[in-house]
Amino acid sequence: MPRDAGDDRLLVKIARAYYRDGLTQKEIGERLGLSRIKVSRLLREARERHVVEIRIISSEDAVIDRERALEARYDLDEVLIAEPLSRDPQDVRAALGETAAQALLSRNTHVGDAHLARISCEVLRGLCHRVSLRPARKGV
């Protein structure tokens, strides 16, 4: 069944309210007399019909692509790649420590858990001083 201009207008109105104005699906439904589920379906339809295009803009795209490739290739749950400023061992250790600290702190601690964070930093500092640094192989 062909859609009319009123249907398209509703898709645009709902998409703008949700993506641009930050309203919840429930709030949109209340304003327009629709159920939250109907709003959800219309948002999905707006994406499918390319009324809405979602783009993720990040300077990290290349790194994330490499992480995802390694995850797929080796069937891993998650890969984090440390990116040092240079090949200087001090920069490499700092990048390893930063990346490991991010992983530990974002997944295993609660905000304000300073004691565990302090322990994690000490462990990482010790680990980074014992790491043997070798250049990565191409293609891995």
- Domains identified in the chain and CATH numbers: 5-48 (1.10.10.10), 62-130 (no CATH)
Q: Is the dihedral of CA 101, 107, 109, 112 positive or negative?
A: positive
**pLDDT recorded at residue 127:** 60
**pLDDT recorded at residue 6:** 63
Q: Is the dihedral of CA 128, 133, 139, 140 positive or negative?
A: negative
**pLDDT recorded at residue 136:** 59
Could you state, in chain order, the average pLDDT of each consecutive group of 10 residues for the chain (140 residues)? 67 95 95 96 95 83 88 89 84 80 65 54 60 57
Helix or strand or coil: residue 112?
A: coil
Nearest of 59, 27, 66 to residue 43 by alpha carbon:
27
φ and ψ of 63, to 5 deg: -65, -45
Q: Is 76 exposed, middle or buried (0-12, 13-18, 19+ CB in 10 A)?
A: exposed
